[in-house]
Amino acid sequence: MKKLLKIVGITLLCIVLILFAIFLIINFRGIPVYETQAVNHTVISTPKSVQRGKKLATMLCAGCHMSSETGKLTGKLMLDGPPEFGEIYSLNITQDKTYGIGNWTDGELIYLLRTGIRKNGAYAPPYMAKLPNMADEDVDAIVSFLRSDDPIVSADPTPDQESKPSFLTKFLCTVAFKPFPMPDQVIAMPDTTNKVELGKYLALNLDCFSCHSADFKTVDYLMPENSKGYFGGGNKLLNMEGDVMITPNLTPDNETGIGAWTEGQFVKAVRFGIVDGQEALRYPMMPYTQLTQKEAAAIFTYLQSIPPISNKVERSIIEQ
C-alpha cells in the first residue's frame, strides 16, 4: 500500500513538473513565430481603388487602429478585448518607416492580411482581423489606401506599444489558433448584380458573421457557414466599459430573428443604428454609414435566405 502511494506520489510530481516545464516554455517563447513566404505582387493604385480601400478600411481597420490622440492609424490600447487575453495594443500602421508600415512591401502587407503572419514572422493573434475570404481586388484596394496620401495614414512617428499577451493567449496561439493558408487561387469579386451573392460577400467580409454567430470560440473563419449558430446571435462581447453585449439573432426566424423585419428597417439599423421604438444600437455595433442603401439591402436579402435558427436573445441592459 505504502509503495503504491509512493508511486502515485512520484507520478503526480512528475506530471506537475512536466506541466510547469510546458508553462515555462510557452510563457518564455511567447507568441509563435512562423516562416514568412514572399508574395511578389505590386498593387496598382488608382483613385477608385484608394476610395474603395478607404471605405473598407474605415469599416474594418479604423475601429482598432485609429488613435484619438493623433487622429491617425497609429494604434491604441484595446479596451474592449477580453481581459484574459492580456494588455493588447494595436500598432502604428501609418507610412512611418520606423514604427509604421513604410518599410513593408505590398506583398508583406497582403501576406499578413491573408494569413495573420507579420513581416517579422510573429503570428498576430485573433484580436487582429484577417481577411481569408476577401476578393483579391478588395485586399489590394486596402493596401492602395494604406499607401495613399490620405491624412489618416500619412507617416506619423508615434512609437508602437508592445502588447503583453497573457499566458492564455500564448497557450492558445501555440495549440489552437493557427495562421490561415495563403490563398493559391484568385478570389474574385462577387457579382454585384446578384443581391444574394453581394449580400453574402459583405456579410462575411465585413465580419458581421463572427460577431453575430454563437461564440468566437466556435467561429470558422475559413468556412464561415460552418460556424456554430451561424448568424443565430448569442455571442457575448464587451463594450469599452467592460459590460457584456449580446449579439442579436439575424437569421430569418420569425419569433427570435429578423424574419418579420422589412428591408427598410434593417437598412436603417445597419447604416444608422436606429431600431424603431428602441434605444439606438450601441457599441460594438457601429453604424455602417459607408455602406450604400443597395449594399445594406443586399445583406438583408442574403440573411433572409439562410436557414432560420430559433434562439431568443435578450438585449443587453446596461446600468447607467
Using CB under 6 A as the criterion, which residues of the chain lie in contact with ligand HEC when the complex forms?
57, 60-61, 63-65, 78, 88, 90-91, 93, 101, 112-113, 118-119, 122, 124-125, 127-129, 142, 163, 206-208, 211-212, 237, 245, 247-248, 250, 266, 269-270, 275, 281-282, 284-285, 288, 299, 315-316
Report yes or no: 86 and 166 within 8 Å, Cβ to Cβ: yes
The Cα–Cα gap between 23 and 159 comes to 31
Give me the amino acid identity at 261. W
The Cα–Cα gap between 44 and 213 comes to 36
The Cα–Cα gap between 140 and 137 comes to 5
Cα dihedral across residues 162, 166, 172, 174: positive or negative: positive
CB of 11 to ligand HEC, least distance (A): 38
Give phi and psi for 77, each to the nearest 5: -75, 135
CB of 186 to ligand HEC, least distance (A): 19
CB of 108 to ligand HEC, least distance (A): 9
Closest to ligand HEC by CB, 3 or 314: 314
Closest to ligand HEC by CB, 71 or 159: 159
Closest to ligand HEC by CB, 95 or 247: 247
Closest to ligand HEC by CB, 191 or 255: 255
The Cα–Cα gap between 90 and 88 comes to 7
Closest to ligand HEC by CB, 7 or 108: 108
CB of 90 to ligand HEC, least distance (A): 4
CB of 238 to ligand HEC, least distance (A): 10
Give phi and psi for 173, each to the nearest 5: -70, -20
All three cell numbers of 188, joined, read 474574385
